[in-house]
Structures are given as C-alpha cells and as structure tokens.
Amino acid sequence: MDYYFIGDPELVTAFRFVGIQGTAVADAAETKAAFLRITRGWDETAGLVLPGGAGEGCRVLILTEEAADWLGELLIEWQLSDRYPLIVEIPGILGRLPGRKTLVDSIREAIGIHV
C-alpha cells in the first residue's frame, strides 16, 4: 500500500476505484483516530512501518483540506518530523476551503511573479 486516503466518504469511494484504500471521516475525532492508525508503528531507525501495522507500506497519505484542518497541530508536527508517510492535501468534495492558496498561488508568491 503506497498510498492511503482520509477524507469525505464520496472521495474514499472514488479513490477505491483507482486502487487506493481509505477511511471516511466525519469529524476531528474520527480523523485523528484514522491518522494515528496509519502513522503509528513507524520505525524511524529502520525507515519502515513495523509489520502488522495499519499503515504498513504507506508512503503517501492523502488528506482533504478539511481533514487536514481537523488534525491541526498533530499534522504540523508530523510534517516537520521528516517521517513517512508524506502528506498531500487536496480539496474536498465541496471544493477548496476559503482562504487556502493553490500550489500555483504559492509558487507565484515565492518567486514574486504575478501575471
């Protein structure tokens, strides 16, 4: 399992059609439980998930923006820890959350070019 998805039930179904397993979440508690289940058991010294862990082999964790917001500081700590799985955020079923920048917006801001 190279990829895993946490987010809206409709998107979980869509990701399953392309072979990516996932967990549907409806609130912060469910999101945190799914996130910890996937990330728990990661052995930093060996660089892999311990056998039998729920996140065994997961290299990329895909989250909706809403799920990422629900994780808050826990997600930030994980991203700064330099461990796998890597985190990718995508818009949810209802689209991009207000105030979120797109990747293109971030790049334009970083290099200072606005066309």
Q: Where are the domains of the chain?
A: 3-111
What average pLDDT does range 20-31 have in this prediction? 94
Residues with Cβ within 8 Å of 16's Cβ and at least 6 positions away in sequence, in order, are 22
Q: ω into residue 85 within 30 of 0, thus cis? A: yes
Judge whether 49 and 102 are in contact, CB under 8 Å: no
Residue 102: the pLDDT is 61
What average pLDDT does range 39-48 have in this prediction? 55
pLDDT at 49 over 70: no
CATH architecture of 3-111: 3-Layer(aba) Sandwich (3.40)
The H-or-E segment that residue 79 falls in is helix 73-80
Q: What is the pLDDT of residues 51-105, one digit of tens each?
A: 444 455 688 999 998 999 999 899 889 988 888 898 988 887 665 656 666 656 6
